[in-house]
Structure 1
Amino acid sequence: MPEMLTLDAFEEASQKVKEVTQETKLVESPYFSAQCGNRVWLKPENMQRTGAYKVRGAYYKISTMGPEELERGIVTASAGNHAQGVAFAATRAGARSVVIMPTTTPLIKVERTKGYGAEVLLSGDVYDESCDFALELAEREGMTFIHPFNDPVVATGQGTIAMEIVQELPLVDTILVPVGGGGLSCGVATFAKLYNPKIRVIGVEPAGAPSLTAALEAGSPVKLPGANTIADGTAVLEVGDKVFPYLQKNLDDVITVPDDELIVAFLDMVENHKMIVENSGLLTVAALKHLAPENRRVVSILSGGNMDVITMSSVVQHGLIQRGRIFTVSVLLPDRPGMLVKVASAIADENGNVIKLEHNQFVSTNRNAAVELRVTIEAFGEEHKRQIVEALERAGFTPTVVQTAL
């Protein structure tokens, strides 16, 4: 096998993955460009076959395996996207595949992995625990283990994304790439620097699982005590030791993003680009606001779009609350006829839309003095929210904005 993570290897991998990948042409984003003061393009790997970039590394890796290896079968561990890539590639190669997934994996990823022909076993709360079980299974049954990120062959396959970016946008200045275990960022950063050392490559990881940041500070991979993030695809406790040297050498910077910013990025993506992007794929979108406004050509890699509907619903709800588009006010008022109409009229006069009412008669022992009315209102944003609250105050009430779910 030729040496990986070289220009020749990237070129070979690029030709190979074209057998199965779909074109994910860059999408220019006037909205995000205006938001961050740079010229922004999106690399929509959420539209890729199997719903994520992972099919690239999995397919390339399996294409390098011999008949005997394929006969023994393939096993891997994954939070979902690598799982689907391996399942698809293994089935195409006629090989049996077994995928170990964390118990917290969204249902859509489990079902789709099975749909591509893999046997799925749930084990462990996070990827690292699933990986330990997969390694034990590989040794016990003589199967070939395909690591989702700590493998130069897999990383070379993932790096084909960067080759496509520079072919389409030769003058790209900056590439933002999500970081979990480091396979994608390793491939993208290594190719970019080999092609043009002036391209700035920035890794983006969730604040609740900053495994790369910890490794860079320590000088080598270290295991985090835990991960707590809605970006499940990048909730990795330790970056790969085989890819880490490439990350040390080729990444220019690392940005960490809190979950709250991912929630807002989801709304922005749906409303402005009509695309569903999973939380890990939104890391690079959220990171755009962390860049200096320098009018640089920036490509944000959207790594995947496999998101279950329940998670999507929760993210939308919390995003609307964060944006002031949905809010709840608590109003104390006397329990007598006409008071509810007075509240509703004040809201209606400001074009607020009432979507939920809760009437609590037992907030006080004296109902004649005060009962509580909680009103959940739909607004256009923070300014409109403020106008509605002020209208209630002018009507003689003392509204208190409370944080609440729908």
Structure 2
Amino acid sequence: MQRTRLDIARIQAAREVIDPIFLDTPLYRCEALEPGLGCTVSIKLETANPVRSFKARGTELIASLLAGSGSRAVVCASAGNLGQALAWSGRGRGLDVTVVASRFAPAAKLDRIRALGASVELVDGDFDMARERASAVARHHGVRLVEDSLDIETCEGAATIGLELVDTVPSFDVVLIALGGGALATGVGHVIKARAPGAEVICVQPLGAPAMTLSWRERRVVTTGPTSTIADGVAGRRPIPAVLADLLLVADDAVLVQEASIVAGMRMLLHHAGLVVEPSAALGIAAILEDRDRFAGRHVVTIVCGGNVDMDAYHRWVGAPPIHDS
């Protein structure tokens, strides 16, 4: 395999730095999903931790490095999950964390960032505008800018999920990975290609936020106009060249799914797996729903990557949970 920016030895070492509360998250076969999907389905549940997403695996590495260097201030742009994770990791190490976010980000995510002790600055635009503002704040104040997916720690932290997959599941045919900025896809994909090269790595993105998928298909950075998707966690418009270069080496395919399929995936995860997830976490299920023949009879692993969702919006999309008599 050609070399990505990632390194297996560093990924293994990362497990010694990351708080164990974020490691070895549940991984299990979910038979209740299988009749509706037509394949064997295993779930890697990255919502079972204090920030309800995989992002803290990377922020733990970053915060440890900063604390060790004596640096105390850090800023990032976030659609919500990275901000929560950095706030959590920074709070435990005495860091001053600022998170720049769109004022249109889910209120539940913003409230949780504040509750974890970080300062929040809002911009009147989307995630990419928040990225620009976070960069300006870092330059002006001379503090560390955390750039999700560009900072190798965010990718190698996410890659520890891949180690857990290959060490736990005897064999699987496909892993479906939500694709946004690319940290999760490049991290897990790197490990799969190194340790389980027979497995297919498929990245999944909403049709309404297709920048990274279009870039993967054309093998060059493709920027897009405004996004239109409920999956706010993966709604970027401007791929990072270095991340795309890594993705081209580890992804076997990148597919786009419709909003209705994302909602259907969320509904299936609620009714058949008892999981309340954010839209980005249902992208893998959505991909199976849209192309059942491709996955028929195969063992598919999907990473349920986040559970931070505004419940009012969730009920509008999915409907209220069923009520059962005791």
TM range, normalised to the smaller chain? over 0.9
State the partner residue of 2:130.
130
State the partner residue of 2:46.
45
Query: Which AA in structure 1 matches 2:276?
Result: I
Shift of 1:287: 1.1
Q: Which has the higher contact order (CA 8 A, sep 6+)?
A: 2
Q: Is the 8 A contact 1:152 1:243 kept in 2?
A: no
Shift of 1:308: 1.0
Shift of 1:70: 2.2
Q: 1:193-226 CA deviation, whole Å, 9 max, x = no partner? A: 0112212110000000011222123322221111
Shift of 1:4: 5.5
Q: Is the 8 A contact 1:75 1:97 kept in 2?
A: yes
Does residue 56 of structure 1 match 2:57? yes
C-alpha spacing 1:114/1:66, structure 2 compared with 1 (3 Å): closer
DSSP 3-state at the match of 1:117? coil
State the partner residue of 2:257.
257
Does residue 116 of structure 1 match 2:108? no
Q: 1:43-66 CA deviation, whole Å, 9 max, x = no partner? A: 111223201000111111222235
CA distance in 2, matches of 1:195, 1:9: 15
Listed as ranges, the gaps of 5+ residues in structure 2 are none
Query: Which AA in structure 2 matches 1:299?
Result: V
CA distance in 1, matches of 2:304, 2:140: 37
C-alpha spacing 1:69/1:123, structure 2 compared with 1 (3 Å): farther
Percent identity of equivalent pairs: 27
CA distance in 2, matches of 1:216, 1:297: 25
CA distance in 2, matches of 1:124, 1:173: 43
CA distance in 1, matches of 2:124, 2:164: 36
1:295 to 283, 286, 297: 297
Aligned length: 317
State the partner residue of 1:99.
99
State the partner residue of 1:284.
284
Listed as ranges, the gaps of 5+ residues in structure 1 are 326-406
Q: Is the 8 A contact 1:181 1:234 kept in 2?
A: yes
Q: Is the 8 A contact 1:69 1:144 kept in 2?
A: no
State the partner residue of 1:184.
184
Shift of 1:275: 1.0
CA distance in 1, matches of 2:162, 2:213: 22
* TM-score, normalised relative to structure 2: 0.92
DSSP 3-state at the match of 2:15? helix
State the partner residue of 1:273.
273
Matches within 5 A, 1:4-403: 5-21=6-22, 23-65=24-66, 67-68=68-69, 70-71=71-72, 73-289=73-289, 290-291=291-292, 292-317=294-319
C-alpha spacing 1:23/1:68, structure 2 compared with 1 (3 Å): closer
CA distance in 2, matches of 1:202, 1:45: 18
DSSP 3-state at the match of 2:25? coil
Shift of 1:159: 0.8
Q: 1:108-130 CA deviation, whole Å, 9 max, x = no partner? A: 10010111110011114211000
Q: Is the 8 A contact 1:22 1:49 kept in 2?
A: no
Query: Which AA in structure 2 matches 1:190?
Result: H
Shift of 1:80: 0.3
Q: Is the 8 A contact 2:53 2:308 kept in 1?
A: yes
C-alpha spacing 1:293/1:176, structure 2 compared with 1 (3 Å): closer
* TM-score, normalised relative to structure 1: 0.75
Q: Is the 8 A contact 1:176 1:204 kept in 2?
A: yes
Pair member with larger Rg: 1
